[in-house]
Amino acid sequence: MADVTPAGAPGTAPGAGRRPAVLVVVAHPDDAEIAVGGTIAHLTARGVRVVTAVLSQPESGAGARQRTRFTERAAAVLGYELRWPTDGGNRQVTDIGEIALVAAVDRLIAEIAPQAVLTHWSGDGHADHRLAARAAAAATRTCRVDLYGMRPGETRTPAFSRFAPQVFVDISAHHAAKARALEPFGTARPGFRPLDLAAVEAADRFYGTLSGSERAEGLVVERAHGIGGLLSAR
């Protein structure tokens, strides 16, 4: 990880003169915590503003309320600002429509002015994740923002084996916070599989081995201007 570039330093954009910011765009509750929970904690500990936008809430009734509480708790543990840009409707991302998704991410970028956007990898095996990735890519088309793809959430899929990160974030100092944020999502719920917390831990250790640390999270560089100074391929 490179040091955070001071706000207003030459070459930063957008948001020069502001507190450094990162926008995380995910399809569902727990997606951000699984793939970049440690990275979020790492950034917020260094004073970076992290805003996480959850595009859909696929459950309904009591399940949706529980899932929302879990996500609010995760936000408090990791230190990010939580947004539901599509109003947390009980639907899949595929039901929202790509134009509406791009517009929602456009509004977030205009408001937050991030140096970097983290979202799902464009090669993810989940259709909702690929839609979120396309929306983030389209929303960053006219601004100089670094764009990173997160690892697939499901480890036992061909997409996970094809994921080849170029950037590793050492989360060894923040793995306990990530575990606390994820712990409620391991609860069994009717109609939904509980999150496999052991698989998340194994993936973090795997990327740590690849990058020479105890635990790490990996990211693919989708588009890089080298302006944010928040993430580095070193």
Report the first-to-last Cα separation within the chain, whole angstroms.
7
Q: Compute CA distances 188 → 63, 66, 139, 183, 191, whole Å.
A: 11, 12, 35, 11, 9
What is the pLDDT confidence band of residue 229, given thresholds at 50, 70 and 90?
Answer: low
Task: Give the pLDDT of residue 181.
Answer: 96
- Which residues are within 8 A (CB) of 65 and not within 5 positions of it... i.e. 6 or more apart? none
228 pLDDT exceeds 60?
no
- Asked if residue 1 has pLDDT above 50, the reply is no
For the chain, domains (ranges, CATH) are 21-223 (3.40.50.10320)
Better-predicted residue by pLDDT, 6 or 120: 120
The phi and psi torsions of 162 (rounded to 5 degrees) equal -85, -15
Question: Residue 191 — φ and ψ, nearest 5°?
Answer: 85, -5
Q: Residue 217 belongs to what H/E stretch? A: strand 216-223
Say whether pLDDT at 142 is over 50: yes
Q: How does pLDDT run across 124-136, given as a tens digit for each residue?
A: 999 999 999 999 9
- For 178-213, the pLDDT digits (tens) are 999 999 988 766 556 678 899 999 999 999 999 999
For residues 142 and 180, which has the higher predicted lDDT (pLDDT)? Answer: 180
How would you label 36-66 residue by residue, b for 16+ Cβ within 10 Å and e otherwise? bbbbbbbbbeeebbbbbbbbbbbbeeebbee
pLDDT at 67 over 60: yes
The pLDDT of 123-148, averaged and rounded, is 92
The DSSP annotation for 107-157 comes to HHHHHH--SEEEEE-TT-S-HHHHHHHHHHHHHTTTS--EEEEEPPS-SSS
CA dihedral (138, 29, 218, 157) positive or negative: negative
Q: What pLDDT is recorded for position 188?
A: 67
Does the pLDDT of residue 17 top 70, yes or no?
no
CA angle 164, 168, 174 (to 5 degrees): 135
What percentage of the chain has pLDDT greater than the value 70?
A: 85
Query: What's the predicted TM-score (pTM) here?
Result: 0.87
Q: What is the pLDDT of residues 91-118, one digit of tens each?
A: 788 888 889 899 999 999 999 999 999 9
